[in-house]
Amino acid sequence: MLPPTRRSTAIPIGLVAVLVMGGCAGYHPAPLDAPGLAADFAARKLDDPGLQPFLSTAGLTHRGAEWTPRALAVVAIFFHAQLDLSRAEWREAVAGESTAGGHPPAGLGVQADRSARPDEGKSTPWSVAVNADLSMELGRARGARLARARALSLAARLRVAADAWRVAGEAQAAATTLLVARKAVEIARGERLVLDTVLDLTRSRYAQGAASVVEVSRAEGDALTAGVAVSTAEQAELSARAAVAQSLGLPFASVESIIVVPDSGTSCAAVDSLPLPAMTALALQTRPDVGFQVAAYAGAEMDVRLAVAEQYPDLTIGPSIGWDQGVGRWALNVGFARLIVGRNRGALAQAEARRAGGAAMVDSVQQSVSTELARSYAECGRSLNEAAAADSIWKGASTRLSQTERAFERGETGALELALARLDVVRTTGTVSTAHNRLIAANVAFDRALPPGKGNPMGAWPDLTEPPQRARASRQ
């Protein structure tokens, strides 16, 4: 007698659920509106309704077209797209904690068999079985995976702060460059006006026979050079303004008419009251860029822990309950989902190498912070002395101009000597401006080197993980 033949049909319950529910439940499409994003960017302005409350949270106020570098640093935090990306990565990392904390998914299936002929004594040719598939992680892999996810989540949150710190510093530096460039334009224009006057007076003296052709040629050359200097300064200002727009995450039109004015107070004046060793130790504990690297190292440490835990295979248990041609049966399958060959040495070696790299990154960023603080301290001291010396030189030039003006009123000197004295003051003003510009740059570097909220004049920041409420372009 030929043995009975069977036709088997196994249908996983998960597939049945998908078919019944009609696809991916809970999915909501979010098509990308590229033209809308471009329109939103083009509509960004410094008079955004949400910006002033954002500035107020940071302890800053603003009026009119004048902006300080510190205020523009917070504007960059409000608008810059890099922080939108950092926030999205942080939310992804937070969601990863739930994924990492989950247990291995259980499986459940139904199997139906039908024999061509039932076995002897059996009442039906049909057999039905329900099979389960359960997995158990050994080696505490779930705890290691969850600890790694939490470390990565913390690192992502600190990266938001670190990116904000970097974006704000770049915006503050760009605004300072625009401030310096604008002063350079004003000084260049003032020098050109005085040199034009000197040229007219020299030509007048030449017509009277009181000046030589060489003096006229020299005056003409100085006037032409001054004109070129004005054009160069104006071009530098335009480039600096474009850099400000880019650092803020704004279109150029929105910053085309802003005026950057110096911040009140001098950060460098606090150098004497903030000892370098104490401030360096505090910065290494509180700077967001240092915190991010330390958290990233913790994630690498958990990679090693996870690689060790994965040396143990997962235990699988598969109970089954069936009805075999009218007779009830049950079975229990026990096994390992995967067997680890070589004790996972390759993955463990990779994780240990990543951990060593993470430690090197922490050491590198700490060295960078220490060097940055030491340099900012030195620049502040040198810039303060240079500014004081330049102010003394300017006072001397101003005194000489006053004396020349009084002599001119008494008729003891001519208009050309008075114009030359004014030219001396203008050029001395340029020297003073250069010295004070270096002091402003030193202030910015000092602000960036200090940890936020610890003697830093930028004050507290808003909650960086919350997306700012920016106005959007109207959709027609």
Of 68, 70, 77, 85, nearest to 48 (Cα)? 77
pLDDT (0 to 100) of residue 232: 94
Asked if 228 and 442 count as a contact pair (C-beta separation under 8 A), the reply is: no
Strands 66-67 and 259-260: parallel
Summarised one tens digit per residue, pLDDT across range 147-163 is 888 988 999 998 898 89
pLDDT (0 to 100) of residue 281: 84
Backbone angles phi, psi at 94, to 5 degrees: -65, -40
Backbone angles phi, psi at 286, to 5 degrees: -125, -15
What is the longest distance spanned by two Cα atoms in the chain? Answer: 142
The four Cα atoms 454, 459, 463, 468 give a dihedral, to 10 degrees, of -150
The four Cα atoms 388, 389, 391, 396 give a dihedral, to 10 degrees, of 150
Backbone angles phi, psi at 252, to 5 degrees: -60, -35
pLDDT confidence bin for 337, thresholds 50/70/90: low
Q: Which domains does the chain have, with CATH numbers?
A: 36-449 (1.20.1600.10)
Q: How remote is the C-alpha of 166 from its chain's centroid?
A: 5
Asked if 196 and 141 count as a contact pair (C-beta separation under 8 A), the reply is: no
Partners of residue 332 on adjacent β-strands: 319
Backbone angles phi, psi at 119, to 5 degrees: -65, 160
Distance CA 439, CA 187 (A): 18
Q: Provide the 8-state DSSP code for 264.
A: S
Distance CA 10, CA 21 (A): 20
- The reported pTM is 0.76
Q: Note the residue count of the chain.
A: 476
CA angle 113, 119, 125 (to 5 degrees): 35
Q: Tell whether the model's pLDDT for residue 8 goes beyond 80.
A: no
pLDDT (0 to 100) of residue 363: 94
Summarised one tens digit per residue, pLDDT across range 432-473 is 878 877 888 887 788 777 765 544 544 566 778 787 877 776
Q: How remote is the C-alpha of 157 from its chain's centroid?
A: 12
Tokens of 71: 């205020």
Q: Tell whether the model's pLDDT for residue 185 goes beyond 60.
A: yes
Tokens of 17: 């659920």
Write out the H or E segment, with its range, that includes residue 128: strand 126-136
